Structure 1
Amino acid sequence: MTATSDVKPFTGTGTITNPATGAPAGQVRWTDPADVTRIAAGLREAQREWEARGAAGRAKVLARYAVWLGKHRAEIEELLIKETGKSATDAAQEVPLILMIASYYIRTMEKALAPDKRPAALPFLSIKKIEVHYRPRPVVGIIAPWNYPVANALMDAIGALAAGCAVLLKPSERTPLTAELLMRGWLDSGAPEVLALAQGAREVSEAVIDVSDYIQFTGSSATGAKVAERAARRLTPVSLELGGKDPMIVLEDADVDLAAHAAVWGAMFNAGQTCVSVERVYVLEPVYDQFVAAVVRDVENLAMGAGDGHHFGAMIDDSQVAVTERHVADALAKGARALTGGKRGVGSGSFYEPTVLVDVDHSMACMTEETFGPTLPIMKVTSVEEAVRLANDSPYGLSAAVFSRDIERAKKIALQLDCGGVNINDVISNLMCTTAPMGGWKTSGIGARFGGPEGLRKYCRIETVVAPRTNVGAGGNYYNNSQRALKRMNTMMTKLALIRPKRIAK
């Protein structure tokens, strides 16, 4: 059973099926790749008026859309469950996150996008007024994944729309139905046609890249590299939020029960299909046995299934289940033990039981490759230095977690970890911090995703405007045939430029 179309290639219409039950979730009409150019041209035309509204005018439109999302939350979550096989608990997380992000940008976008006034670098340049303006890129292409059909589409689209861009959204071909509902809400809330969909697979993604002025991609590191390569043909800038293998470090002075609860939720939430999920845990030897026992206790209390009454639901399709099966089988073959789970769920549907693995090491795929499934491998370490070394021994660098009762000690360890964000005594919470950028290091991405003024300005081109304060002194630095004037100018500029360095160097 899959959540993809039953029509190959992606032409005409297709049926999307529920990965938990195999029942049809709905019909989608696929976009002809040849039509993407026309769609982008319409967006480009509409974007001019959208930019001209200014930040305050766009904020009103986004506020109406946020109200629509809130009113239709139940409808959206019902469709999420049908399309992805999520539990009701997991489905309930997406709309509130988007409302948090939208609310933050609605409050702050006017200030974030206002021109920056910059001081003169040297006293004699104070006759100039220097302003940095943030001008939106006309069309932003967003290629979104399937694991969070609402959040992964709108957390990027909201920022681009707030910045004054038009957005061409290409949702995953596995979850196109939710995107159709979000698009309907945009138009029903009275918003202009600066948001459009392109439904399909690789060919449509390539067409979106070819017609956009900026690309935001979320997905695997391998596909991200292909996106960047294609965008580079036109020197189109990209922001990539890619794979992760997020480590968690549990120190000997940690609150072990809290750490165990966090590890289980962070690993099993959304069936482990979260870019910043807890994918490996390093526990200091003195609390290792206690931590493992607490984790097993929590996992054994989890209820797996779609919809109401369950902690987490199905995986998106059998191909994703197969990755989890391969990682677990590899670990068991190399000496690991499964204390819970270790196999597919009983019955139909793309389910995999929550699996706790111990006696693991870095020779195993479960510790080095992104699993994106409900597994929790736990490794015993003898020192903090070993934990940090192993945490950094990865091509990924998205986020991490450190658990300790000593917050300052945890902060020092956090700043030794090679990743874009670290949570202390918590997991995944950096996604809720709308005032700060979220991004990855190494093969986990390029740039920051959303959060803070950076989440708006990333979609803008920077334009510096230098204007005179007075007509006095204009032309003083133009060509002058006098050797005496040239010598005087060079001496003055060198002395002025060296004033501050000489002070600091003393």
Structure 2
Amino acid sequence: MTATPDVDASATATIHNPATGAVAGTVRWTDPADVPRIAAGLRQAQREWEARGAAGRAKVLARFAVWMGEHRDEIEQLLIKETGKSATDAAQEVPLLIMIASYYIKTMEKALAPETRPAPLPFLSIKKIQVHYRPRPVVAIIAPWNYPVANLLMDGIAALAAGSAVLLKPSERTPLTAELLLRGWIDSGAPEVMAIVQGAREAVEAVVDNADFVQFTGSSATGAKVAERAARTLTPISLELGGKDPMIVLEDADIELAAHAAVWGAFFNAGQTCVSVERVYVMEQVYDAFVDAVVKDVQNLKMGAGDGFDFGSLIDDSQVAVVERHVADALAKGGRARTGGKRPSGPGSFYEPTVLVDVDHSMDCMMEETFGPTLPIMKVSSVAEAVRLANDSPYGLSAAVFSRDIERAKDVALQLDCGAVNVNDVISNLMCTTAPMGGWKTSGIGARFGGADGIRKFCKQETVVVPRTAVGAGGNYYNNSLKALKRMNTMMTKLALARPKRTAK
């Protein structure tokens, strides 16, 4: 049996593997009273980090990416120990960070270069208008436990690229890999612009109070509390929150492909993924064939931590309890479990991969975020019904649409109320660092990634207007005679009403 570790400021705690109960390591919790000092040290170091310029910072990030590649096995073994992941699931996180670092190393100099903007009116052409991107000194990264490596630094790398220092607050459930990554940053010869605060609620509050920007990933309920805390100091935030991501299978879909995608999307990382497939709507013409294909796939899955397994344990027994409640509610209301439906005997916070059918929106498994290894599948009679049900949710993170007709699938995608839609695939938008990944409704505020915007979000915009010539300087100062005002009004009216010239065809 595993549970969230007790957090006592300045105390040392033992972290256990949720799959086996074995000791994964120890951590010393940070006294929240020390956070202002830690943030002040980062703020001081950040000045030199910013002064290096984008090219100088890119060299440091490149060394860190190399370190992560060289120490991948060490990171993944510790990741398995503190999360109970399978080796397959653990193997996804370091490559994602290296991919993100590689992208920003190549693009950060251009993304942060000052932008020259055109003059809005002819008489302002004597001015040169530039927008500069200045990093926010200390960016707080408050990360969840489901991907302790990836979620900790997928935004942290962009913040470092921007020229910010980063204050990391990993989940109290998975604090160990953060310490290893910080060691790697220092071992890479990087300056001390990365620090860690370990702890729970009080540590989060101290981090938010002492940051210049907060990136939070986690539940919608906790995200709302972070936003409320940040509002006290008008600290800008970006929130990537919960999801209940729908998948729609049209009658012309490749059923085998759709079934494989649904199984992987639902059970990858034991379903503990914000963009996992949490509910499926299938056209009645292909419903039975789809369910049969899904069940066949699920029956081949191997559950267990470490090597040789498809997915591992849940993070602790409290997460198992959520899954048990959702499954029990579905079964009590007429749903059926085609696979799984129970917790296996033996140690660890495991739950069998569970395919639920005969489900509807009266059931918790279709309306609440489960964050566990369940796959509820609902039959629908039309595309309109599928879209209506998919949008019938307080969440709006991502979705998937399967059809052999790509244009038809795109049309359906653009009717869904969410931040991203994958056509004939699942979760792949997480790899698209050139496009924004953000949620609608209670799934978040702002976005991560998004090309240049993924770096610029950690910057303040500063507009600098300089003269191109000394001619006319000060000509309008206190020039408020009635004649001058009438002349200005006439000119502005003509400019506003002027029609663009037609170009010859």
TM-score, normalised via structure 2 length: 0.98
* Secondary structure in structure 2 of the residue aligned to 1:380: strand
Is 2:264 the partner of 1:265?
A: yes
1:331 matched to 2:337? The reply is no
1:143 is matched with: 142
* Counterpart-to-counterpart distance in 1, 2:96 and 2:450: 12
CA distance in 1, matches of 2:485, 2:361: 66
Partners of 1:231 and 1:180 in 2: how far apart?
A: 26
- The structure-2 alpha-carbon separation of the partners of 1:3 and 1:194, relative to structure 1 and needing over 3 Å to count, comes to farther
Partners of 1:320 and 1:180 in 2: CA distance: 25
Question: 1:9 is matched with which residue?
Answer: 8
**Identity among equivalent pairs (%):** 83
Change beyond 3 A, Cα 1:481–1:313: closer
Give the Å deviation of 1:428.
0.1
**Would the aligned equivalents of 1:3 and 1:84 in 2 still touch at CA under 8 Å?**
no
Tell me, what secondary structure is at the counterpart of 2:195?
strand
Shift of 1:478: 2.3
Give the AA of the match of 1:136: P
Indicate if the aligned counterparts of 1:315 and 1:350 stay in contact, CA closer than 8 A: yes
Alpha-carbon deviation of 1:481? 4.4
1: CA distance between counterparts of 2:23 and 2:94? 23
Partner of 1:205: 204
What do the CA deviations read for 1:113-161 (whole angstroms, capped 9, x no partner)? 1111101111111111000011000001111000001100010100100
1:284 matched to 2:283: yes
CA distance in 2, matches of 1:174, 1:115: 41
The alpha-carbon distance between structure 1 residues 473 and 149, as it changes in their structure 2 partners (threshold 3 A), is: same
Question: Following the alignment from structure 1 to structure 2, what is the Cα–Cα distance between the partners of residues 486 and 29?
Answer: 69
User: Is residue 169–residue 204 contact of structure 2 (8 Å, CA) maintained in 1?
Assistant: yes
Inter-partner Cα distance in structure 2 for 1:201 and 1:283? 41
Alignment match, 1:450: 449
Shift of 1:490: 1.6
Amino acid paired to 1:266: G
Structure 1 residues 419 and 16, CA, compared in 2 at 3 Å: closer, same or farther? same
Q: Distance in 1 between matches of 2:345 and 2:500?
A: 71
Which residue in 2 is equivalent to 1:356?
355
Amino acid in the other structure paired with 1:236: T
Tell me what 2:246 maps to: 247
Structure-1 separation of matches of 2:317 and 2:8: 19
**3-state SS of paired residue (1:31):** coil
Map Cα deviations across residues 425-470 of structure 1 (whole Å, 9 max, x no partner): 0000000111111100000000001231111000000100001000
Structure 1 residues 369-388: aligned runs within 5 Å: 369-388=368-387
Any idea what the Cα deviations from partners look like across 1:281-305, whole Å, max 9, x if unmatched?
0000100000000000000000000
- Which letter does structure 2 place at the counterpart of 1:84? T
Q: What are the equivalent positions in structure 2 for 1:179-258 lying under 5 Å apart?
A: 179-258=178-257
Cα deviation for residue 473 of structure 1 reads 1.6
Q: Which digits, 9 at most, give the CA deviation of each residue in 1:21-63, with x for residues without a partner?
A: 0010001011000000000000000000000111010000000
Is contact 1:145-1:172 (8 Å) kept?
Answer: yes
Q: Residues 177-206 of structure 1, C-alpha deviation per residue, up to 9 Å, x if partnerless?
A: 000000000000000000000000000000
Residue 306 of structure 1 is matched in structure 2 by: 305
Provide the secondary structure at the position in 1 that maps to 2:262: helix
- Could you give the per-residue CA deviations for residues 339-362 of structure 1, whole angstroms, max 9, x where no partner exists? 000001221100000000000000
Give the deviation of 1:497 after TM superposition: 2.8
Shift of 1:77: 0.3
Aligned partners of 1:39 and 1:190: how far apart in 2?
20
State how far apart, in whole Å, the 1-side matches of 2:111 and 2:497 are. Answer: 34
The SS at the match of 2:365 is: helix
The answer as to 2:114 corresponding to 1:115 is: yes
Quote how far apart the aligned CAs of 1:175 are.
0.4
User: Alignment partner of 1:278: what SS?
Assistant: coil
User: Hey, what's the Cα distance between the residues in 2 that align with 1:390 and 1:135?
Assistant: 43
Alignment check: 8 A CA contact 2:7 2:200 kept = no
Separation (CA, whole Å) in 1 of partners of 2:13 and 2:468: 63
Query: Contact between 1:139 and 1:168, CA under 8 Å: does it hold in 2?
Result: yes
Instruction: Report the 3-state secondary structure (helix = DSSP H, G, I; strand = E; otherwise coil) of the residue aligned with 2:246.
Output: strand
Query: What SS class does the counterpart of residue 478 from structure 2 fall into?
Result: coil
Is contact 2:283-2:380 (8 Å) kept? yes
Give distance in 1, aligned partners of 2:388 and 2:132. 43
- Contact conserved, 2:3 with 2:318, CA < 8 A, in 1? no
Question: In 2, are the aligned partners of 1:4 and 1:175 still within 8 Å (CA)?
Answer: no
Please give the residue correspondences for 1:457-476 in structure 2 after superposition, counting only pairs within 5 Å: 457-476=456-475
- Relative distance call for 1:99 and 1:288 in structure 2 (3 A) is same
1: CA distance, partners of 2:489 / 2:345: 81
Any unmatched runs of 5+ in structure 1? none
- How far does residue 8 in structure 1 lie from its aligned partner after superposition? 4.3
Q: Which residue of 1 aligns with 2:41?
A: 42
Q: Which residue of 2 aligns with 1:96?
A: 95
Counterparts of 1:345 and 1:494 in 2: how far apart (Å)?
76
The 2-side partners of 1:326 and 1:483 are apart by 76
For the residues of structure 1 that align with 2:46 and 2:169, how far apart are their CA atoms?
18
Does residue 1:166 correspond to 2:161, yes or no?
no
Q: Which residue type is aligned with residue 2 of structure 1?
A: T
Structure-1 residue corresponding to 2:71: 72
Aligned-partner Cα distance in 1 for 2:7–2:269: 28
Cα distance in structure 1, aligned partners of 2:185 and 2:314? 29
Q: Aligned-pair distance for 1:479?
A: 1.8
For residues 449 and 417 of structure 1, the distance between their equivalents in structure 2, rounded to whole angstroms, comes to 20
List gaps (5 residues or longer) in structure 2: none
Residues 122 and 497, structure 1, Cα contact 8 Å, conserved in 2: no
Partner in structure 1 of residue 417 of structure 2:
418
Given that 2:249 and 2:281 are in contact with CA atoms closer than 8 Å, whether structure 1 keeps it comes out as: yes
* Structure 1 residues 500 and 217: CA distance shift in structure 2, 3 A: farther
Q: Give the deviation of 1:502 after TM superposition.
A: 10
User: Which position in structure 2 is the counterpart of 1:86?
Assistant: 85
Residues 1:55 and 2:54 aligned together: yes
Q: Distance in 1 between the 2:480 and 2:153 partners?
A: 60
Q: Secondary structure at the match of 2:141?
A: strand
**Mapped partners of 1:481, 1:327: distance in 2:** 71
Q: Is the 8 A contact 1:273 1:315 kept in 2?
A: yes
1:379 CA drift (Å): 0.1
Aligned residue type for 1:315: L
Contact 1:136–1:461, Cα closer than 8 Å, also in 2: yes
The 1:134–1:8 alpha-carbon spacing in structure 2 relative to 1, beyond 3 Å, is: closer
Tell me the distance in 2 between the aligned counterparts of 1:62 and 1:8.
33
- Aligned equivalent of 2:19: 20
Matches for 1:387-406 after TM superposition, within 5 Å: 387-406=386-405
